[in-house]
Amino acid sequence: MSDEKTLAETLAQRGVSRRSFLKFCATMATLMAMPPAMAAEMAEKLAKVRRQSVIWLSFQECTGCTESITRSHAPTLESLIFDAISLDYHHTLMAPSGTAAEAARETAMKDNYGKYLVVVDGSIPMGNPGYGAHGGESFVDHLQQTAKGAAAIISVGTCAAYGGIPKANPNPTGAVAVSDIIKDKPIINVPGCPPIPVVMTGVIAHVLTLGTIPDLDEFGRPKVFFGDTIHDRCYRRPFYDQGKFAKSFDDEGARNGWCLYELGCKGPTTYNACATAKWNGGVSFPIESGHGCLGCSEPDFWDKGSFYKPLSSGEWGGGKILAAGAVAGAAIGIGAALLARKRQDSITGGK
């Protein structure tokens, strides 16, 4: 490890109160659906963790994923970046540049060989090595070289996890996901465009606390955060079940907070924690702000069809099942519930 202090010592040194730390652990435990007693156990384990070297690589991305984590409310930006983890290399956030930056990466790799975590945002262009390079190395070489000594890789954002927007049709750069290139390391996908900050932090907390890779679903996402659809936990669900749908963004239904299904909401087929973890420190999430879910944590969400046509139009693949029950309201609800259950069973083996 790059530092011998425990996380608790580092946090105390940085002025983070034990109360804030316990609050963070309680939030994490809730998000991970752990029993309340586990929060204290998690806090105890996490407090003893020694700083972990993290190398963050950015490829074809928009910086939205970094923006998301730097607004993480718990732990704060400072504690996350400088205390909770040892972010040894990050293009956007690190002070050094050029040769000094690359030297920092090489030192971190050498000192922590086999132990460091690699976080990646952005997809990798395979169409031509000249499409992107760091320190004179093509993106793909840079990734392969950095991944060699990694304990695990966390692909944050739909670009790194599945190719994302750069891979959208006609995929001019030949963009691929990290998992298309790296085959010999554990990879945790934390999709979303961008991902929820507290979920990114939670995955790191899970790895640091338990020393294991969380249980993953068929798309490589941690089930603790991606086990339910947005629809499963949506506060507008009662309206959906009653067949009360907004027909436009400014009609009476919209003003009354009715379901956004007919305005194109992809919540019924989208697995993410937005409805529970929410955004901006738990303030809101897209549906609460009046817009349907775009399905941004699902592979190829950009190419699946209009964001403003309902799932029953069939463009998003769930149409057949949804359309079968799509007489109205409750009937659609049953169809979506079946679709969600079918997908859940394929993930859990029906358990």
Coil, strand or helix: which one is 138? strand
Shortest separation between residue 182's beta carbon and ligand F3S, angstroms:
25
Coil, strand or helix: which one is 21? helix
The verdict on 122 binding ligand SF4 (CB under 6 A) reads yes
Shortest separation between residue 196's beta carbon and ligand F3S, angstroms:
7
Shortest separation between residue 61's beta carbon and ligand F3S, angstroms:
16
Tokens, residue 303: 């190419």
3-state SS, 233-267, equals: HCCCHHHHHHCCECCCCCCHHHHCCCECHHHCCCH
Instruction: Rounding to the nearest 10 degrees, give the CA dihedral for residues 249, 252, 255, 257.
Output: -90
The verdict on 165 binding ligand F3S (CB under 6 A) reads no
Rg of the chain's alpha carbons, rounded to an integer? 21
Residue from 32, 54, 55, 165 in contact with ligand SF4 (CB under 6 A) = 165
Which of ligand SF4, ligand F3S, none is residue 89 near (CB under 5 to 8 Å by kind)?
Answer: none
The verdict on 220 binding ligand SF4 (CB under 6 A) reads no
Which of ligand F3S, ligand SF4, none is residue 64 near (CB under 5 to 8 Å by kind)?
Answer: ligand SF4
Shortest separation between residue 45's beta carbon and ligand SF4, angstroms:
30
The verdict on 296 binding ligand F3S (CB under 6 A) reads yes
Helices (H), ranges, the chain: 7-13, 18-31, 37-48, 64-70, 77-78, 98-111, 139-147, 157-162, 197-210, 223-226, 230-233, 237-242, 252-255, 274-277, 319-324, 329-348
Say which amino acid occupies 153.
I
The verdict on 297 binding ligand F3S (CB under 6 A) reads yes
Residues forming a β-bridge with 155 = 120, 189
The verdict on 268 binding ligand SF4 (CB under 6 A) reads yes
What phi, psi does 194 have (nearest 5°)? Answer: -85, 180
Residue from 21, 24, 226, 261 in contact with ligand SF4 (CB under 6 A) = 261
Residue from 164, 222, 227, 295 in contact with ligand SF4 (CB under 6 A) = 164
Which of ligand SF4, ligand F3S, none is residue 202 near (CB under 5 to 8 Å by kind)?
Answer: none
Q: Report in angstroms the alpha-carbon separations of 152 from 133, 175, 204, 238.
A: 23, 22, 11, 41
The verdict on 118 binding ligand F3S (CB under 6 A) reads no
Q: Which residue from 315, 300, 317, 306 is spatially nearest to 175, judged by alpha carbons?
A: 300
The verdict on 261 binding ligand F3S (CB under 6 A) reads no
Say which amino acid occupies 213.
I
- Smaller CB separation from ligand F3S, 122 or 125: 122
Say which amino acid occupies 144.
Q
Q: Which residue from 167, 78, 80 is spatially nearest to 122, judged by alpha carbons?
A: 167
Cα 197 to Cα 195: distance, rounded to the nearest angstrom: 6
Which of ligand F3S, ligand SF4, none is residue 285 near (CB under 5 to 8 Å by kind)?
Answer: ligand F3S
The verdict on 118 binding ligand SF4 (CB under 6 A) reads no
Tokens, residue 199: 């979920």
The verdict on 189 binding ligand F3S (CB under 6 A) reads no
Pairing of strands 116-121, 150-156: parallel
Q: Which of positions 198-237 make contact with ligand F3S (CB under 6 A)?
A: 230
Shortest separation between residue 47's beta carbon and ligand SF4, angstroms:
31
Count of residues near ligand SF4 by CB under 6 A: 28
Binding site for ligand SF4 (CB under 6 A): 61-62, 64-65, 121-122, 157-159, 164-165, 193-194, 230-231, 234, 236-237, 240, 259-261, 265, 267-268, 287, 292-293
Residues near ligand F3S (CB under 6 A): 192, 230, 270, 272, 274, 285-287, 293-294, 296-297
